Amino acid sequence: MIVTRFTAALLFATALVPAAADAQTLRRGEPPITEQTQISGGERPAEQAGLRLRHLDLAIEVFPERQRIAGVATLTLTTERTVPRLLIDLDKNLPVSAISIDGRDLAASQWSNPEGQLAITLRRPLRAGATAQVKITYAGTPHVAVRAPWDDGMVWARTQDGKPWVASTSEGYGCDLLYPCLDFPEGEAETVDLHFTVPAGLKAPANGKLVGVDEHSDGRTTWNWHAKSPNPYSLMLNVAPYKEISGSYHSQYGNDIALYFWHLPGHEEGAQGVFDEFAPTLDFFETLIGPYPWGDEKLAIVETPYLGMEHQTINAYGNSFAKSYNGFDDLFQHELAHEWFGNQVTAANWDDYWIHEGYAQYMQPLYGLWREGEARYDVMMDEFRRGIMNQHPIVSGQVRTEEQVYEAENGGPGNDIYVKGAWVLHTLRNTIGDDAFFEVTRRLVYGRPDPKPGNFEPRFSSTREYMDIVNDVTGQNYDWFFNVYLYQAALPKIIEARQGDTLTLRWQVPGDGPFPLPIEVQVDGERQLVDMRGGTATLNVPASAHVLIDPDARILRQSDQIDAYQAYAMRRQ
């Protein structure tokens, strides 16, 4: 998801929302959704937690003038444990009219959905390891987003010449806003077939690879797509009279990747400018991280009436072709990073959300470094540092919902999963070195250090696994590093004490645990890396010497000046 602290992003989002609202018969936030529908991830009922979605066939027809959809979802499910009923997540604003299991129709009395979790009574329990094909027919008025993409749902907008412009977003509240699904990360389908039917003159670009377009006698078209393992929230609707820019990228790994940008008519010049960024950005990611994970499908973005969101192989883009002093489109680059961090490697528990957002955020200054050098990198890292709030730990160690992590007002780390996550990675890279850091990253993303097209699969990971990878690659135990930076809110602080020609340095960390992080010290222009084993060090330094601690800001630590700045900024709000 996009970071909420980019001022430019907020300005563009504000400019876009009224246009969408003017086109709506329904007001934003209507029809209301239940607390159950707002939950994505977190603790699941035992009978649902063991379900796995092998295949999803999803057909949706979109009726823009009526702000309605009608769908048929066929879920091929297996279960890790015997279950007497099936629990499928679906917003109750999308009422079900028919259900069949393995081709046999159920009576209406065999299902209910009072609060947004569809309960289906089975004729006989589904045994562990067994498979069931569940066909669900539904239709209704989906929830209209209040402030997409930070609040989820549909956006029913209009182009400048009055044509329908429709998009969905669901990362926070989940996939059940749009279709029957398993609304937790491991509920993603292994494969998906999508069939989106739209009125004449409109197009429906979507996830995966285009299989074909069916033309109906009344002018409607059905767009058929096939995708592998998209995150549940990653499936999206995009409907508009789109124009298309296309091309191909020859990867350094030898494969050719199809490139697309679906944009509104009249936006050709701006769209071409962003499209021109595709190849150099791919060069960066493939060189530093590894092969684009979906090279056999496509890399694409689609213009949306909200700011943006990662949707596997079809990222939402509503940044109005903004220019940045960093020299590249921040939104495009950030959402593209999620193809590796979020889509290829997915956090099995939203508590590990920082793996998605911390890495995607850190890819931006690394791209600045790639393009221009250390000065650009340092400027971008400094901007991030001012936004770290340290109100709650990045990782709680519990199973959490997306909103419990993303919403700071609900006790989550909020924006810190982005900016503090990036600074944790910055500190780790400067501690273990580039070679080890990027090997750790490749192992996280691909499950192996030597990824090539065809030798890896999408995978789930966790903070604990990440720590184990770091320990394995470095041959040292860095649990102390992550216990402070991820599982504690307060930052480590360096305490300086001078007595004559003696300078004593000591790490002060929350919980008073071990923290032997070495730190660079500059004395009258001469630098040395100070060993802090035991959390302390004593240096012989002339009393008249000019001393700088961590002169290149390579370590995330408490800063009096930043704390004072943040307190001042809060008073000014």
Kindly report the pTM of this predicted structure. 0.95
| pLDDT tens readout for residues 205-238 | 999 999 999 999 999 999 999 999 999 999 999 9
| pLDDT tens readout for residues 340-396 | 999 999 999 999 999 999 999 999 999 999 999 999 999 999 999 999 999 999 999
C-alpha angle with apex 173: 16 to 311, nearest 5 degrees?
60
State how far Cα 9 lies from the chain centre.
Answer: 16
Question: How far is residue 114 from each of residues 96, 98, 225, measured CA to CA in Å?
Answer: 12, 16, 32
Residues of the chain with pLDDT > 90, as a percent, come to 94
Would you tell me the crossing angle of helices 374-385 and 416-432 to the nearest 10 degrees?
A: 130
And the tokens for 179?
């279709």
Amino acid at position 352, single letter: D
Please, which pLDDT band fits residue 3 given cuts at 50, 70 and 90? low
> What's the CA gap between 557 and 293, in Å, rounded?
35
Cα dihedral 418, 421, 427, 433 sign? negative
Q: Is the pLDDT of residue 297 over 70?
A: yes
Q: Are 321 and 270 in contact (CB under 8 A)?
A: yes
What is the per-residue pLDDT for 375? 97
C-alpha angle with apex 56: 302 to 44, nearest 5 degrees?
100
Would you tell me the crossing angle of helices 416-432 and 354-372 to the nearest 10 degrees?
A: 60
What is the per-residue pLDDT for 573? 82
What is the per-residue pLDDT for 10? 30
Neighbours of 571 (CB within 10 A): 7
| pLDDT tens readout for residues 60-114 | 999 999 999 999 999 999 999 999 999 999 999 999 999 999 999 999 999 999 9
User: What's the average model confidence in pLDDT over 443-448?
Assistant: 98
Q: What is the DSSP letter of 510?
A: G
| pLDDT tens readout for residues 554-563 | 999 999 999 9
